[in-house]
Structure 1
Amino acid sequence: MNLPTSTSFTPLANLGLHTPHLLNPAACNPTMDLVVLLSPPSDGSPNRIRAPQGWGSGKGKGKATDTRVELWRMGGNRAWEVDVGGVIAGMGWSRDGLVLSLLVLDGDNSKLEHRSVHDGQVVTAVPLTMVFDTDDRAAFIEGRRWCTLEWRECGLDWEGPQNGSAIMIIDSLPRVTPVEPPQPAVLNPFAKPVAPKPTGPHPNLATFPTLLSTPTPPPPDILTLTPLSGAAQTLLTGTLSLHSMAPSREVLGLAQISDRMGDLLDVVLRGLEAAEHAFRDGQKQTMIWREELETCGEQQGMSHAEVHSDLFKLLMVGRAGAAIAEWLGNRLTGRTITKWEASLDSAYRTIGKLMAESVIPALERIVLLLEELLGRARAPRMAGLDESAVQIAIDVACGFVKLAEQMRQDAMHETLASGEWMEWLKYEIARIGHDASAETMPLATYDLKLVWSYMTNGFVSSVFQTHFPDLPLRPPKDELPSDALPARTTHRGDLTSQLRESLGRLLRKKANGGTATATSPANADADSSLTSAFDKSLPSPLPDESSIRPESPDHDEDVGESDDDASQSGTAGRKDTEAAEVKRVMQSEPWVWANTLVKACEGLVRGGIGADGEGPTCQRVSDGLYDERHDDTRKWAAYVPPSSHELFLLCSRQTETEQHSAIKLDLADATCLALQFFDAVELVLLLQSSSKERYLVTMDYSALDGSLIPLAPGDIAAGGMGGLPNALNGQGPGTDFALTPYNQTPLDLPVSRCRPLNPLPSTAPQSEAEAGPQGGSGAVPERIAIALNGRQGRRVGCVMMGQGTDVEVLDMEADEDAVLEDEEGEEGEEEDVMDDQEHIDEDE
């Protein structure tokens, strides 16, 4: 094959790597001079070194199943590196170049990670349901095949909030106080720094439909994820699954509401976590001193119930037995009471603050959003929104608000009661240790009712133990039972029947003389349904002590033990042979309400958006070299079959009836090692001649539009290329297929630009088997790949050859020949100027 002797493109840098890497075709950042390199999973050998700028990789060399993702500046130095748990199956940059999307396979699970370009940290992770077999995983590890991740414009823009909409009302209200992660009670300045907790959404919201979380609102771009086989998935901003490539304005508006709802639900869940942590932390001191009291009672032969009754006797009549005297006289001191009081006061005040400033305001704003969805569900264009589902979600949110308000009131009450409890303990200690000869007696300044309240609802068994029971799995995954919220019945009829029913009620009321009012079942159901959710959230009477006995009495956060006879053999640190069953009140547990609300909101949003974002099932080309490019109205595909010297181009016009046309180009004796579309004009190929010389060439595929041969509908399978080689070779299913001339004399490859590549000695192939992807299986395959960026202003390309340790960066905009000619021209002009100056000097 005769190639031009020109030297196109301009070399920029050469990235020298210490270990083998992989280059994905989508590795180049579209807006910055950056490229991503992958270090495949290894056995943890010491050759895998860490970069000094490795902010996110942490200590050590990572696990054997981790893939190292490295971001390199095209100037030659590394920006950052992170270890990703699993195998990278594909990648893609967002259109603004600020987010790197990675398809990660971890065991049998797959997820889509969006990482920041600044430090490589995870912005959002979206779980997927894709399944890949062992051969696909091996291809991903070796870099032979990749899944395609392509970002495209949506064609629409976000609409601003309309007057009176829920989003505008929420924006006009004070911002909901974010929930900070709980901090340890004692900070040791010499302790080892703890890794910061992930700042992403709550784990319970992993599948909730939200938009990409970025500092600035992301544009409504669409990410299309095309696997090697199966159905493609379409995600709005890379996170929210769609059912079509062209979402409507109603879907975009629903996505904005869902995203705002996800942020508020995250505040609610974080608030519940912080509230439970505060309760457990404050309850530790209460548990310690209750167990001390019970230990003193056991030493006197008293059961737990008896010692608790003796403590109540001390409160009421001022006399108690030896166990209480031992507990107050020798165990409790002023310092320990102060510590106990501070922990309880901090815990209950934290719970009250979280409920008042974070959880309740977030739930109120969720109700506003659901009310707007209820109005949209009644519009004909939003047929996917189920009005009854929205109403159920509103009932759940209202019931949750009622429960959260009850918890806030309980926390405020427990704050006052615990303070009076401490005052009483200080008084009793002072009275026990009072000198009888002294003239003054300690004064009782405590509130008897509040002391008794805390003794019953805080010391013996806490009221918050019903809200946050001791369960093996915390937080629980349970939801409200199906009968917790009765089904709302709607009675709709014409205006005539409504008027007749109203007139009948008025006549019956007049006939009864106003003494009784007859209410129809429909009206009674409507009245009772308004408060059904609130009634369900009212806490039931507190169970006795045995009903809240924890699963494991030796746990740090246990509150106490039952007062039955079987529990008298020990207190703290004792392991029971049989774990006691925790009796739960589902309607009093905030986690149960939160799980129900999250599921209800997620279900109605997904129903309004439509089915899952899966496109038609396709079968991509598994052998040979393949790439495709999408324009506004056309889709181009390039294909080189294995062990072939022919290039096939396919053009599909996106019309009502999809039209296909194709052409076959001859590569002569050259072998294609890699190919990729550069822009809307050029296709880049990495060719190797019969003499083992390699060239990077481009061809103007847009100029071949007039030479394309139309194909019959049956000649192209659903997978894109399908039976194209057979069709172009005259073996297609169409009997009147007019491609016979091209079977005899295929078109020569129209080369536009060409540059010979001079690989380093370490990257030169050692044998014919290592010449490219079509090499034999007996030798180690050479890692050959190209990654291009054809955007205006950033037209660069990266070429990897050899064993993956050498990457050459080329400027695809300027040609080296033209640069040399310009430099020679400038040097010639300078010499002419100098000669003219010498002649002038001689004349003078």
Structure 2
Amino acid sequence: MNFPTSTSFTPLANLGLHTPHLLNPAACNPTMDLVVLLSPPDGSPDRLRAPQAWGSGKGKGKATDTRVELWRMGGNRAWEVDVGGVIAGMGWSRDGLVLSLLVLDGDNSKLEHRSVHNGQVVTAVPLTMVFGTDDRAAFIEGRRWCKLEWRECGLDWEDPQNGSAIMIIDSLPRVTPVEPPQPAVLNPFAKPVAPKPTGPHPNLATFPTLLSTPTRPPPDILTLTPLSGAAQTLLTGTLSLHSMAPSREVLDLAQISDRMGGLLDAVLRGLEAAEHAFRDGQKQTMIWREELETCGEQQGMSHPEVHADLFKLLMTITKWEASLDSAYRTIGKLMAESVIPALERIVLLLEELLGRARAPRMVGLDETAVKRAIDIACGFVKLAEQMRQDAMHETLASGEWMEWLKYEIARIGHDASAETMPLATYDLKLVWSYMTNGFVSSVFQTYFPDLPLRPPKDELPSDALPARISHEVDLTSELRESLGRLSRRKTNAGTTAAATSPANADADSSLTSAFDKSLPSPLPDESISIRPESPDHDEDVGESDDDASQSGTAGRKDAEPAEVKRVMESEPWVWANTLVKACEGLVRGGIGADGEEPTCQRVSDGLYDERHDKTRKWAAYVPPSLRELFLLCSRQTEPAQHSAIKLNLADASCLALQFFDDVELVLLLQSASKERYLLTVDYSALNESLIPLAPGNLAAGGMGGLPDLLNGQTPLDLPISRCRPLTPLPSAEARSEAEAGPQGPQGAPGAEPERIAIALNGRQGRRVGCVMMGQGTDVEVLDMEADEDAVLEDEEGEEDGMDDDEHMDEDE
């Protein structure tokens, strides 16, 4: 092949690297002069060969992380981060602010979106893709990649309509964000720790949401094309779709799902903080109770007798009082300002989904499932409100308890000869309530039981879910219930209540009503039908006080720990798990009904690349055993129309290829004399030379069967538009020959495999290209817009003009 003698493109910089790296075809940032380079995992020979890798302490041959480095094309490194696993593909968002990485960590795969500013993870999306050992080895060596491509959706977000749930929520006060729990003891002299970036709650890892950015991301679509199998499309790179072109209804549903995910995150974070506050407050109570019980055991007293002699507690209680007050006030504030408002807004969103489910065009939304999700959310609101009331009651009871302790301490230590006596300012009912409930067994132990796995992953069984919430109020029944409560008589609310001990049964009914708020009850409202408790459960709860009263002997330490009695309907984590699953199923059902999954046709061998525009898809393919270039043009019509052409490479071999823009295809060729050239082909001018293919002939073999379809066609000469000879890299070749030693040329045992790759950016204003050759230690950056020949001609013309001016001045 005769290559042109021109020198196209203009060299900008040369990135000198100390260790071998990998260059992905999508490494160039589309809007900034930045390029991403990958350093293989520590277990690969290249990473272990680096001097700094030997002293890293990670162990020889141990595969750990892949280092992702962002370089400025001027030659400076912006940042570097370690990613746990193998990078199988990457792609930049259209605005260049997010770097998407396909990461393989063991048998798991995920899609990480990282910020261009610091490399921190913005969002991570778990995937279900499975890759074999050969594919993983190809990713580590950089021989093959999965393609990640961001495209325009064709639609834009619509503003919320008047009366919609999103507009109503935006008009309401914002839900108070939940701050992460702080440690109980802060060292004022300790070095301040930077807050960790908080992403979505782990329970929402698979919940369909949009990309988390400071501003609303554009509705772009990320297409993930694996080496084999079906391609995946994700709206904003996070929300999985089943169609390459989502409808307007799907975009609206995606906005509702994203808003719902943020509210669910507030609910889950609020439950975490509430449980942490409860555990922290219970620590001090447990310390004091165990101290008293130990003293009683040493004196031969039972636990109930010790609890009855609590007035002998003659020690300071300031820390205990402060921890209890802070814990219950925190729980009440979280429920009132974060959890309950978030749940109320979720109900508004579900109500809108109910209206959309009744529309004929939203066939994926199940009206029955939406109603059930609304009932779950309403039931959760009832439970959260009961927790808020219990927290308020425990705050008052614990405060009066502390007042009583202070009074008893002052009374015992009072001088008998003094005339004045300490004044009793405590409320006896609240003191008794905390003594019999909060001190021994708090009602929040029913909400947050001591389980081996916290938070629990359980869900409400189907027969325990609310069947229907009655929105109609029966005035007669409401008045009768109010009259019964005013008369302080025990009414049966249709829910399970713990049986009282014989001592409490003989107590005054007025005191019993004060204790009701501290007794565990699943829900205070009878408008929700809850699965009734088994008869054995009532007996167990009723006998718990008797068991506690007879367990004050020293032999109790050797006894087996008692089994935790759980009331699933009273645990907020169980309701939260059920609500998350119900909402996720609704959204995925509504989105999944829109279209079919796009199929993927990739070639297993050879060089391949493709490019999409609004009406056509171009594909370039060079088989491994042929020196021919095949171009395929597929028009996106029904049925699809395919046409192809075969171009002759003569005696040159193709080392890399990539589409530059809608006009040019870039090839890296090596001639028979081992000279390398970077050239472009104007493939848009080959429309008239394309050969139509019969419908269905390409479906069987894909691009791999294209050479057989064009076997009888005469190949055309390669139409070269621009060309530049690439000078060899002496440092890389010298290092290769030195390591090869007496074994012979490159490819022999002891020699490193040469890494050849190109990465291009064809966007207007940022038309650059990066070429990697050698062993991955040198990357040449080229300006693909300006040709060096034209620049030299302009400079020579300017110099000639300056010389002419000087001669004219001398003549004068």
Q: Secondary structure at the match of 2:686?
A: helix
Of 579-588 and 282-291, deviating more is: 579-588
Alpha-carbon separation, structure 1, partners of 2:219 and 2:667: 33
Instruction: Check conservation: 2:759, 2:769, Cα contact below 8 A.
Output: yes
Classify 1:512/1:625 alpha carbon distance in 2 versus 1 (closer, same or farther; 3 Å): closer
Instruction: Check conservation: 1:279, 1:348, Cα contact below 8 A.
Output: yes
1:631 shift after superposition:
1.0
Classify 1:383/1:528 alpha carbon distance in 2 versus 1 (closer, same or farther; 3 Å): farther
Instruction: Check conservation: 1:57, 1:83, Cα contact below 8 A.
Output: no
Cα deviations across residues 161-213 of structure 1 (Å, max 9, x unaligned)? Answer: 00000000000001110001011122224435546334110000001111111
1:764 shift after superposition:
3.2
Q: Secondary structure at the match of 1:554?
A: helix
1:457 shift after superposition:
2.2
Classify 1:313/1:506 alpha carbon distance in 2 versus 1 (closer, same or farther; 3 Å): closer
Classify 1:298/1:834 alpha carbon distance in 2 versus 1 (closer, same or farther; 3 Å): closer
Alpha-carbon separation, structure 2, partners of 1:175 and 1:624: 55
Alpha-carbon separation, structure 2, partners of 1:570 and 1:536: 27
Q: Secondary structure at the match of 1:424?
A: helix
Q: Which residue does the alignment assign to 1:329?
A: none
Q: Secondary structure at the match of 1:381?
A: coil
Classify 1:837/1:512 alpha carbon distance in 2 versus 1 (closer, same or farther; 3 Å): closer
Of 499-508 and 632-641, deviating more is: 499-508
1:801 shift after superposition:
0.6
1:509 shift after superposition:
32
Alpha-carbon separation, structure 1, partners of 2:548 and 2:730: 81
Alpha-carbon separation, structure 2, partners of 1:649 and 1:534: 81
Q: Secondary structure at the match of 2:334?
A: helix
Q: Which residue does the alignment assign to 1:384?
A: 364
Cα deviations across residues 812-838 of structure 1 (Å, max 9, x unaligned)? Answer: 00001100000xxx555x666666666
Q: Secondary structure at the match of 2:524?
A: coil
Classify 1:599/1:537 alpha carbon distance in 2 versus 1 (closer, same or farther; 3 Å): farther
Alpha-carbon separation, structure 1, partners of 2:491 and 2:140: 85
Q: Secondary structure at the match of 2:51?
A: coil
Instruction: Check conservation: 1:65, 1:86, Cα contact below 8 A.
Output: yes
Residue 532 of structure 2 is aligned to residue 550 of structure 1? yes
Of 753-762 and 496-505, deviating more is: 496-505
1:17 shift after superposition:
0.6
Classify 1:436/1:715 alpha carbon distance in 2 versus 1 (closer, same or farther; 3 Å): same
Classify 1:167/1:54 alpha carbon distance in 2 versus 1 (closer, same or farther; 3 Å): farther
Instruction: Check conservation: 2:311, 2:409, Cα contact below 8 A.
Output: no
Cα deviations across residues 604-630 of structure 1 (Å, max 9, x unaligned)? Answer: 111111259973443411111110111
Classify 1:554/1:602 alpha carbon distance in 2 versus 1 (closer, same or farther; 3 Å): closer
Cα deviations across residues 623-645 of structure 1 (Å, max 9, x unaligned)? Answer: 11110111111111111111321
Return the match for 1:758 from 727, 734, 756: 727
Cα deviations across residues 207-253 of structure 1 (Å, max 9, x unaligned)? Answer: 11111110110111111111100111111111111111111111110
Classify 1:717/1:773 alpha carbon distance in 2 versus 1 (closer, same or farther; 3 Å): farther
Classify 1:175/1:616 alpha carbon distance in 2 versus 1 (closer, same or farther; 3 Å): closer
Residue 589 of structure 2 is aligned to residue 617 of structure 1? no
Q: Which residue does the alignment assign to 1:35?
A: 35
Alpha-carbon separation, structure 2, partners of 1:427 and 1:522: 25
Classify 1:617/1:756 alpha carbon distance in 2 versus 1 (closer, same or farther; 3 Å): same
Alpha-carbon separation, structure 1, partners of 2:690 and 2:676: 28
Classify 1:68/1:433 alpha carbon distance in 2 versus 1 (closer, same or farther; 3 Å): same
Instruction: Check conservation: 1:62, 1:83, Cα contact below 8 A.
Output: no
Instruction: Check conservation: 1:553, 1:573, Cα contact below 8 A.
Output: no
Q: Secondary structure at the match of 1:754?
A: strand
Instruction: Check conservation: 2:301, 2:552, Cα contact below 8 A.
Output: no
Identity of aligned residues (%): 92
Classify 1:555/1:213 alpha carbon distance in 2 versus 1 (closer, same or farther; 3 Å): farther
Of 766-775 and 563-572, deviating more is: 766-775
Q: Which residue does the alignment assign to 1:670?
A: 652
Instruction: Check conservation: 2:632, 2:642, Cα contact below 8 A.
Output: yes
1:540 shift after superposition:
2.2
1:587 shift after superposition:
1.1
Classify 1:784/1:620 alpha carbon distance in 2 versus 1 (closer, same or farther; 3 Å): same
Instruction: Check conservation: 2:150, 2:221, Cα contact below 8 A.
Output: yes
Classify 1:765/1:56 alpha carbon distance in 2 versus 1 (closer, same or farther; 3 Å): closer
Classify 1:542/1:248 alpha carbon distance in 2 versus 1 (closer, same or farther; 3 Å): closer
Instruction: Check conservation: 2:26, 2:90, Cα contact below 8 A.
Output: yes
Cα deviations across residues 683-718 of structure 1 (Å, max 9, x unaligned)? Answer: 001111111111101010111111011112243135
Classify 1:629/1:122 alpha carbon distance in 2 versus 1 (closer, same or farther; 3 Å): same
Classify 1:612/1:775 alpha carbon distance in 2 versus 1 (closer, same or farther; 3 Å): farther
RMSD of the TM alignment (CA)?
A: 8.9
Classify 1:249/1:719 alpha carbon distance in 2 versus 1 (closer, same or farther; 3 Å): farther
Cα deviations across residues 743-801 of structure 1 (Å, max 9, x unaligned)? Answer: xx421111111111112113339999999999789853211100000000000000011
Instruction: Check conservation: 1:786, 1:797, Cα contact below 8 A.
Output: yes
Q: Secondary structure at the match of 1:716?
A: helix
Q: Secondary structure at the match of 1:675?
A: strand
Alpha-carbon separation, structure 2, partners of 1:524 and 1:257: 51
Classify 1:535/1:69 alpha carbon distance in 2 versus 1 (closer, same or farther; 3 Å): farther
Q: Secondary structure at the match of 1:72?
A: strand
Instruction: Check conservation: 2:501, 2:545, Cα contact below 8 A.
Output: no
Classify 1:129/1:572 alpha carbon distance in 2 versus 1 (closer, same or farther; 3 Å): farther
Classify 1:257/1:759 alpha carbon distance in 2 versus 1 (closer, same or farther; 3 Å): same
Alpha-carbon separation, structure 2, partners of 1:204 and 1:711: 50
Instruction: Check conservation: 2:14, 2:75, Cα contact below 8 A.
Output: yes
Instruction: Check conservation: 1:53, 1:80, Cα contact below 8 A.
Output: no
Instruction: Check conservation: 2:43, 2:64, Cα contact below 8 A.
Output: no
1:338 shift after superposition:
1.0
Q: Which residue does the alignment assign to 2:219?
A: 220
Alpha-carbon separation, structure 2, partners of 1:509 and 1:285: 36
Cα deviations across residues 442-499 of structure 1 (Å, max 9, x unaligned)? Answer: 1111111111111122111111111110000000011112122354599999999999
Of 218-227 and 511-520, deviating more is: 511-520
Query: Where do 5+ consecutive residues of structure 2 fail to align?
Result: none
Classify 1:280/1:56 alpha carbon distance in 2 versus 1 (closer, same or farther; 3 Å): farther
Q: Which residue does the alignment assign to 1:244?
A: 243
Classify 1:837/1:159 alpha carbon distance in 2 versus 1 (closer, same or farther; 3 Å): closer
Q: Which residue does the alignment assign to 1:207?
A: 206
Instruction: Check conservation: 1:769, 1:775, Cα contact below 8 A.
Output: no
Instruction: Check conservation: 1:7, 1:755, Cα contact below 8 A.
Output: yes
Cα deviations across residues 568-624 of structure 1 (Å, max 9, x unaligned)? Answer: 999999975633210011111110111111011111111111259973443411111
Instruction: Check conservation: 1:549, 1:581, Cα contact below 8 A.
Output: no
Aligned length: 807
Alpha-carbon separation, structure 2, partners of 1:308 and 1:224: 66
Q: Which residue does the alignment assign to 2:586?
A: 604
Classify 1:553/1:280 alpha carbon distance in 2 versus 1 (closer, same or farther; 3 Å): farther
1:416 shift after superposition:
1.2
1:729 shift after superposition:
1.1
Instruction: Check conservation: 2:241, 2:592, Cα contact below 8 A.
Output: yes
Instruction: Check conservation: 1:491, 1:522, Cα contact below 8 A.
Output: no
Instruction: Check conservation: 2:375, 2:466, Cα contact below 8 A.
Output: no
Classify 1:768/1:432 alpha carbon distance in 2 versus 1 (closer, same or farther; 3 Å): closer
Classify 1:290/1:649 alpha carbon distance in 2 versus 1 (closer, same or farther; 3 Å): same
1:339 shift after superposition:
0.9
Instruction: Check conservation: 2:443, 2:520, Cα contact below 8 A.
Output: no
Instruction: Check conservation: 1:294, 1:571, Cα contact below 8 A.
Output: no
1:434 shift after superposition:
1.2
Of 575-584 and 611-620, deviating more is: 611-620
Alpha-carbon separation, structure 2, partners of 1:656 and 1:160: 33
Classify 1:573/1:595 alpha carbon distance in 2 versus 1 (closer, same or farther; 3 Å): farther
Classify 1:313/1:377 alpha carbon distance in 2 versus 1 (closer, same or farther; 3 Å): farther
Q: Secondary structure at the match of 1:407?
A: helix
Structure 2-normalised TM-score? Answer: 0.86
Cα deviations across residues 244-303 of structure 1 (Å, max 9, x unaligned)? Answer: 111111111011000000000000000000000011111111110011111121122122
Alpha-carbon separation, structure 1, partners of 2:503 and 2:158: 40
Q: Secondary structure at the match of 1:31?
A: coil
Of 501-510 and 678-687, deviating more is: 501-510
Query: Where do 5+ consecutive residues of structure 1 fail to align?
Result: 317-335, 732-744
Instruction: Check conservation: 2:314, 2:409, Cα contact below 8 A.
Output: no
1:82 shift after superposition:
0.7
